[in-house]
Structure 1
Amino acid sequence: MQFLRTLCFNVAITFMVVAVIGDSTCNLCQQNHVKCVNETHFSLCLDSVSPDQVMQCPDDQVCTSYAKFCMPRGVVPPSCGSDAVVNCPSCDGSSLFVCTSRTTFQMCDGDKLSSQITKCKDNTFCAIGQGQFCVDRCKAMNSGTGLQCDRESPLQG
């Protein structure tokens, strides 16, 4: 009987620890020395590494607060969860251009996207809302607006 109580106690403690460890927010350095900037991208919180260097987890993995900071999607919740997901803007007749992914933008024709997809230079993010087409990673992540479109690539169609 004592064995079952001890086992139940240990299981309960484990779940509480996992809940606390997994409950982080975006853009804050975690105990694993990683700052998740969205569900799949992170930067390292180390003095020897530039803080504006954003990296991506492998395909089908999410950024977590665990020692192994990129883990398979669905196994554990991402540190920077779906409440932080950025919706991509759409053409609504008020903008000439919109970001259609993290690194691309397209021209609007009223409420429709043109077929021409324009890609930002390497290491820059789309920043139409910041009055520029593309800005460096640090400026995009540290701006008041953050990422304007958190899609990996523009939707085709």
Structure 2
Amino acid sequence: MEAFKFQIFSLALLALLLAPASVDAVCGSCTNAHACISETQFQLCFDGVRDQSQNYTCPSDRAICVDYIATCMANGTAAVRGCGDVSVCGVCPDVTAKFTCTSRNTFAACSNGAITAYTQTCKDNFVCSAPSAAAGTPCVSHCRGITGEVCDLPRQTSADDTPIQTTSLDTSPQQRGSQQ
């Protein structure tokens, strides 16, 4: 009986050690030596910086980009995808949309279905929600950010790695008659 318990314990320990670690994946973030930029594509990273000059595509038998040492894995695996939904990024769904998310915590105004030039940033602990952005209130608590509604991209930077001009948006209620 004791040998049987040891075998069960050993198998459980082995399964735990071989299971992939849970990660908080963000599309475009360097993990190991690569950054997933879509469900099937990635870029190489050098010293934690993405080389954006070349995109690579996972092979068809291992089509899903993941944030593990093995960059690409088969579609049916339980591994956490390295890149969530980016289809909601930078899209003004129709002419009535007020804003669109441009990253997990930035957004831009929409004007007649087109994105304006300047981005704004949500306050700390807030993320941009695509449905809320289209309705006019882009920033929601990170606890309310639902997968598939949040643009799964890190804040964008320009080619020389300096941040694009952003401004902070104060989402707190304003007091009437207060001095500024």
**Length-normalised TM-score, structure 1:** 0.47
Specify which structure has the higher proportion of helix.
1
